[in-house]
Amino acid sequence: MQHCDDLAHQKLSFWNDTGKTGISAWVFSTDHKRIGLLYLYSVLSFFLVAVTIGLLLKIELIAPGRTIMGPVTYNALFTVHGVLMIFLFIIPGFPGAFGNLVMPIQIGASDVAFPRLNLFSWWLYLIGAVTIIFSLFTGGGPPDTGWTFYVPFSVKTGTNVSLAVFGVFIVGFSSILTGINFVTTIHRLRADGMQWGRLPLFVWSVYATAWVQILATPVLGITLLLIVAERLLGTGLFDPARGGDPILYQHLFWIYSHPAVYIMILPGMGVISEIFPVFARKPIFGYKMIAFSSLAIAGAGSLVWAHHMFTSGMSDTAILVFSFLTFVVAIPSAIKVFNWVATLYKGSISLEAPMLFALSFILLFSIGGLTGLLQGAAATNIHVHDTQFVVGHFHYVIFGGAGFAFFSAMHYWLPKFYGRTYAEKPAVVAWGLLFVGFNITYFPMILLGLKGMPRRYYDYLPEFTHLNQLSTFGSWILATGLALMLVNLSRGLLKGEPIGRNPWGGATLEWTTQSPPVTENFEQEPVVTHGPYDFNGAGVP
């Protein structure tokens, strides 16, 4: 790497200190920064494939009837889009990439607690991903069940479901090991003086996420194994004709997959909690409540799985209980939003790219959260169930929330690890295109759902045409913004201006080390004497 020739006064960074060269210096490295970048490159590759598929789906929906593909292809493509985005991008993306890159530095550790296990997790992720990709081209062709693999269809369909769910099982195992590694790291490897009350809020959110990974993923694991057993052995556990109960499958599936939503969003909230104080030049408002609300979201979020099943056939009491618990999750989420907004109050706000993404996160996530409440209430849920409204809602939460936080984190932290930075103006233009394109793409879906257009259908009635066309048009703006952002980032990180230790004036530990950091993260062991948002104590000019 020719990264810091002009920064000769610096110590060798983690990019060029190793004895090994070439690809083996990366794929067999136990350095958490290299593993974090490996995760980043792999999740972004799958993200781009899934984006392309998403664009194809939107083109199909530009007009009623068949446009560019038939219904069978459409079913396969939306399944693959969902599986790639959920299991290979957003769930492993945040903990794998930014959890690995940033969390150990923020707590003052030289690496995670189990570096070799960390590498093994990435390998498992890759093996699982290859298995999933392999399942698309072998056997009966790509699975067409939707990413939820609902029985009985997933048992009856002739497509390659068994291999795909086995791949997801392997990826899930990788997620569990990452969670174990992170909890242990945060408990055991904090620097001297890094008390729990001084942990950066991103670390708190990674901590809460890691617990969800540990406690929820095994249930998904067994559920997926049960699908394979059902398909291969005919165990009949979910087959009503043989006494089984398909609703039990849905319970087991959502016991994992609803908490998984919090694996996707919690680290994103952590990123926002880091960026607001730095770009408003103010200590965060309500540090303890933000830290606590991450744990509360992880806890309460694990008790609400059955709100996905209001129309599946449950007792009215169960619906009432799960509806109530779902509303409970809104409380810690709202605590966070209020505290972020209060942090901005009378702040000296600097509107640079990470901050723009963070600000738009609040709006998009709030729309996503509020449309979620509409579905948490049983009466409105029955009206919008399985419509485009749901599709709009979860894209607002997962793309508008977790995705925009991911982009924010990329602009905020990646310069640290490359030692160079992107160009500001294209970054702002890309943000504008993404924000506008996002809303034009997904807001029409919310309206379409309210009017009654079902999700997962490749055809629709003529009265839905205009909104669908608008949505497809928006997806092109969105894609343009994405392309501009990725080009600008990769150009800047490889050839841009070198940055110093602390370009944003942050007070957390990662800004005290050189950019890019040395292999052991710090030139000397840090001793923490102040909180993460105490800008006076940080000695920042």
Partner 1 sequence: MIQRDENRYAGAKLGIWLFLFTEILLFGGLFLLYAAYLSQYPHEFASAGHEMQLAFGFANTLVLITSSMLAAMSLTAVQLREQRKALIMLGATIFCAIIFLVNKYFEWSSEINSGFYPNSPRLATGPMGEALYFSLYYLTTGLHGLHVLIGIVLLTLVSVKVSHGTIHAGNYVLLENSALYWHLVDLIWIFIFPLYYLVL
Residue 167 to residues 15, 28, 38, 90, 535: CA-CA distances in angstroms? 31, 22, 19, 16, 46
**Does residue 234 interact with partner 1 by CB under 8 A?**
yes
Q: Say how far residue 250 (Cα) sits from the centre of its chain.
A: 23
Closest contact distance (angstroms) between CB of 216 and partner 1 is 8
Residue 118 or 472: the one with the smaller Cβ distance to partner 1 is 118
Residues in contact with 36: Cβ distance below 8 Å, sequence separation at least 6, in sequence order = 96, 97, 98, 99, 100, 101, 102, 417
Q: With contacts defined by CB under 8 A, name the span among 239-247, 269-277, 411-419, 503-511 that binds partner 1.
A: 239-247
* Token duo for residue 486: 């990725």
Among 99, 128, 143, 179, binds partner 1 (CB under 8 A): 179
Binding mask of the shown chain, residues 492 to 531, with x at each position contacting partner 1 by CB under 8 A: ---------------------------------x------
If one asks whether residue 176 binds partner 1 (CB under 8 A), the answer comes out as: yes
Site string for partner 1, 368-407 (x = CB under 8 A): ----------------------------------------
By CB under 8 A, tell whether 189 contacts partner 1: yes
Is residue 235 part of the contact set for partner 1 (CB under 8 A)? yes
Rounded CA-CA distance 283/330 in Å is 24
Q: Which is nearer to partner 1, 239 or 330 (CB)?
A: 239
- Among candidates 223, 213, 215, which has minimal Cα distance to 174? 213
User: Residue 244 in contact with residue 236, Cβ under 8 Å?
Assistant: yes
Residue 237 binds partner 1 (CB under 8 A): yes
314 interacts with partner 1 by CB under 8 A: no
**Closest to 132 measured CA to CA, from 102, 164, 156, 91:** 164
Run of H or E including 498: strand 497-498
Q: What are the DSSP calls for 341-385, one per residue?
A: HHHHTT------HHHHHHHHHHHHHHHHHHHHHHHHSHHHHHHHT
HSE-CB for 420 with a 13 A CA cutoff: 20
Q: Which stretch binds partner 1 (CB under 8 A): 113-121, 292-300, 356-364, 468-476?
A: 113-121
Residue 96 · residue 39 · CB < 8 Å: yes
Q: Which of 97, 101, 105, 109 binds partner 1 (CB under 8 A)?
A: 109
Please give the DSSP secondary-structure letter assigned to residue 6: G
Report which of 171, 163, 149 is spatially closest to residue 79, judged by C-alpha positions.
149
The single residue among 42, 223, 468, 515 that binds partner 1, judged by CB under 8 A, is: 223
Instruction: Identify the residue among 140, 236, 246, 347 touching partner 1 (CB under 8 A).
Output: 236
If you ran DSSP here, which 8-state letter would residue 152 be given?
T
Residue 104 near partner 1 by CB under 8 A: no
Distance CA 459, CA 61 (A): 7
Exposure string (b/e) for 410-442, b if CB count within 10 Å is 16 or more? bbbbbbbbbbbbbeeebbebbbebbbebbbbbb
- Residue 226 engages partner 1 in binding (rule: CB under 8 A): yes
Q: Is the four-CA dihedral 186, 192, 198, 200 of positive or negative sign?
A: negative
Least distance (Å) from partner 1 to the CB of residue 295? 16
Near partner 1 by CB under 8 A, which window of 147-155, 214-222, 303-311, 496-504?
214-222
CB of residue 217 to partner 1, shortest distance in Å = 7
Q: Does 183 bind partner 1 (CB under 8 A)?
A: yes
Q: Give which of 139, 140, 149, 136 is closest to 227, Cα–Cα.
A: 149
Q: Which stretch binds partner 1 (CB under 8 A): 22-30, 183-191, 420-428, 484-492?
A: 183-191
Binders of partner 1 among 244-283, rule CB under 8 A?
244-245, 248, 252
| Closer residue to partner 1 (CB): 225 or 320 | 225
Q: Percent helix, strand and coil across the chain, each rounded to 5?
A: 70, 0, 30
CA atoms in the 13 A half-sphere facing the CB of 462: 0
Q: What is the DSSP string of 313-327?
A: ---HHHHHHHHHHHH
Judged by CB, which is closer to partner 1: 227, or 355? 227
Query: In the complex, what is the shortest distance from the CB of residue 418 to partner 1, in angstroms, rounded to a whole number?
Result: 25
* From 25, 69, 191, 377, residue interacting with partner 1 (rule: CB under 8 A): 191
Region binding partner 1 by CB under 8 A among candidate stretches 108-116, 321-329, 460-468, 504-512:
108-116
Candidates 5, 22, 65, 188: give the one binding partner 1 (CB under 8 A). Answer: 188
Q: Among 13, 217, 381, 512, which residue sits at the site for partner 1 (rule: CB under 8 A)?
A: 217
Binding track over 402-441 against partner 1, x by CB under 8 A = ----------------------------------------
For partner 1, the binding residues (CB under 8 A) are: 108-110, 113-114, 117, 176, 179-181, 183-184, 187-192, 214-215, 217-219, 221-223, 225-226, 229, 233-237, 242-245, 248, 252, 525
